[in-house]
Structures are given as C-alpha cells and as structure tokens.
Amino acid sequence: MTLAQRTKKIAAPGTSRMRTIANELKAQGLHIVNFAAGELDGDTSDAVKQGARQAIDAGKNIYTPTMGAPELRKQLGALVSQHTGVAYAHDEVGLTAGAKQALYNAAMVLLDPDDEVIIPNPYWVTFPTQVELAQGRPVFIETRDAGYQLMASQVEQAITPKTKALIINTPNNPSGAVYQAAQLAKIAALALQHDFWIIFDECYAALVRGGHQHAHILAIEPRLKERIVLVNSFSKSHALTGWRLGYVAAPAPVMKAMENLQGHTTSNPSSVAQYAISYALAREDGQFIARVNRTLDERLRRALAIVAEMPSVQVAQPQGAFYLFLDISAHLGKQLDGTVIADVDQFCEAALREARIAMVSGAAFGDPSSVRISYAISTDDVVEGLQRLRQLLQRLQ
C-alpha cells in the first residue's frame, strides 16, 4: 500500500498518545494519575446544559450555515469587539469544530508553498504539523532563556523575506507563560513594518492565574486588525472539550476563504453545541470561570510546594492555563534500577510503568528536556501524582 507523501508529515500527537495509554491502564483497574489530559476535570455550566436541552427539544438538529448560526456569529462579533476594543462585524467571525480547525483553516488559506511561519518554542504540538500540511516551513525561536517569554528581539532576528506569519499562543501551552504586553506591542510593530500575519491563539485567555493578566495584542495595536487571525475556543473556558466548538475572527476576505474551505471539510460545527453556547453567553455572570480559576489557583499552590522539594528540577513560571512545564534535564542519563534513562520519552515511559503517572514528553512540544503536567485534575490526584514523581526522581542514580 502506498500512502500520500503528506502522511509522512503527520504523526499522532504526543498529548493524545499518553492520554490514551493512561485511560487503557485505568480500564485495567490501575490507579493512574493522568497528568496528560489537556482539559478541566469539572463539568460544564448549568446554563450550557440547559441551552443544549432546549435546542434538542426545539428540534435544532439540522445544518446551520457553514460558519455558524447567524445569531451566534453576532454575539461573537460583539464579544470579540468588547474583548479587543476593535469593532468586528458578524461576517468577520465564524464557528469551527474546535480551535484546531480554526488554526488549520488559517494555515490553508494564508500559506503558499515555502512560506515561513515563526513559531515560539516550546509550542503546542499541532502548530508545526499544520504549517507543513499547508506546505509552509516552520521557523522556531527559543523562549527558554527568556523565562519562556516571547521576546520581540528574537522575532525580529527570525524575520526573512519569506516570513508570512507568526503564531502567538498566550497563555501558553505547554509552558503556562502569559506573554508581556510590552513585548507584544513591539511584535505588533514588527508585523506592520514587515507585513506578515499574526495568528493569535488565546484559547486559555480565561484561565489566568492570580496576579497575572492576559494581554491582547490587538487591543494594544488596533491597526493589526487587517493582519491578524484571532483563534479561541469554548473547550477550556466552558469545560467543553468534547463538544468541539471553537471560533475565529479575521478580515472578511479571510473569513470568506475559510468558509469555502470549511464547506468542503467539516461544514458547520455541531448545531446543538452552537445553540447551547449562544444560550449560555446571553446569561453568563462570570461566576463559572471565577470558580474554576479559584480551584486552579489552589491546586497550583499545593503543586508548587511539592515541586520545590524535587531534586534538580526547574519549573517554568505558571502564569496561565493549567500546566506545569518541568525541566528534568539534570536527571536524563541517570539509571533507574540499572536501566539508563536516556531521554525524556524514556523518562515518561518509566514514570508510567514505575509510578503510575502519565505525563507528556516535552519532545512533543519541541523541548526534549522537559515534561508537561496538567494540574486540572482532582486535587488529591495532583498531590498524589507529584509525590510519586518526587519519589521516582529520588530513585534515579
């Protein structure tokens, strides 16, 4: 069997693989602490569920327009306008089957073969693959030395005549960094000067840890509107990962191109999910996400206390999202019961086998010295799992 050449560019996401293995072991009756899941452990809000019930009872089970129900697009236009301070009409926003489809749409309608796309490292696993599927070329810049912050000086050094876009993900997955407003302002100036697109992924914008604030690059520099694609999702902010509902905002010609593309791929996202979110957005009071953030703040406090006791482990400052990105490079090359742990992938396998904890290898995010841990699981599991990890590290020789 001969497959298309593009399939060589596609490997299963490392995040999905570890989550699958952990769930299989759980099904065998083992107590696996699953740090690999990229989703909140709580249920969605009552308003979302009530909206879904009403939509089903009202028979709203048929196609909507490709980019979403008109009323919801109007709501999102108003929401994005309020969020950024820049006016967006209903035809400048659209609904997608999760943020992942919005990002794929952007890559496919913006990139030509050999266009370069600057991607900060560490990165969410799907960014470079989607660029490559669109026949673009990822250009990586390192953020570790700047405390995982994206610095305008690094972006400037990476710009070439072939630069077509920069992908910004803040709050960042996997590092948890929230990019600084001052640097975003300088990056915005570079985009205007060198005429490249910014793809601004803010799926974790509602999940910012206490004492930090999400900065929106378009609110900082409104002139970017004609050079920016905004990507967001209800998956994290409303605990709806399984419903697959994201949204995108972009100039009207870009949205029309996305509509044409989406019409030949998925067509509209789930109609019931759309009506449920529309119902909830009209009734939100901010209490749901406030409770989520209070819970995550407390889990993070307890998690960092245990991480501080881990020998020779460095942690990226967790400012948003719900991840700890741990640098375990000091332990690679050591032995566990006579077996050398040569790389971070082997470390994750050993952790799953020996300590019954599932983590995601940093290699999946472009950083082969670290592991990603989600603390959006039960507080008891956060504490138990990190204690198991600490004990595992102490066994290495």
Smallest Cα–Cα separation from 271: which of 20, 62, 59, 42? 62
Least confident segment among 74-78, 150-154, 273-277, 336-340:
336-340
pTM for the structure as a whole = 0.94
DSSP state of 310: S
Residue 12 has pLDDT above 80, yes or no: no
Domains observed in the chain: 5-43+287-395 (3.90.1150.10), 47-281 (3.40.640.10)
Chain-centroid distance of CA 63 in Å reads: 28
Mean per-residue pLDDT of the chain? 95
**Residues 241-263 pLDDT 10s:** 999 999 999 999 999 999 999 99
pLDDT at residue 21 in the model: 74
Residue for token digits 């789930």? 270
Residue 14 has pLDDT above 70, yes or no: no
At 15, is the pLDDT very low, low, confident or very high (cuts 50, 70, 90)?
Answer: low
Contacts of 105 (CB under 8 A, 6+ apart): 96, 248, 258, 261, 262
Average pLDDT on 346-363 reads 94
pLDDT at residue 1 in the model: 73
Residue 112 has pLDDT above 70, yes or no: yes
Proportion of the chain above pLDDT 90, given as a percent: 89
CB 330 within 8 A of CB 341: no
Cis peptide, bond prior to residue 113, ω within 30 of zero:
no
Query: Residue 155 in 3-state DSSP?
Result: helix
Contacts of 115 (CB under 8 A, 6+ apart): 135, 136, 137, 162, 163, 164, 165
**Residues 18-63 pLDDT 10s:** 767 777 877 888 889 999 988 999 999 999 999 999 999 999 999 9
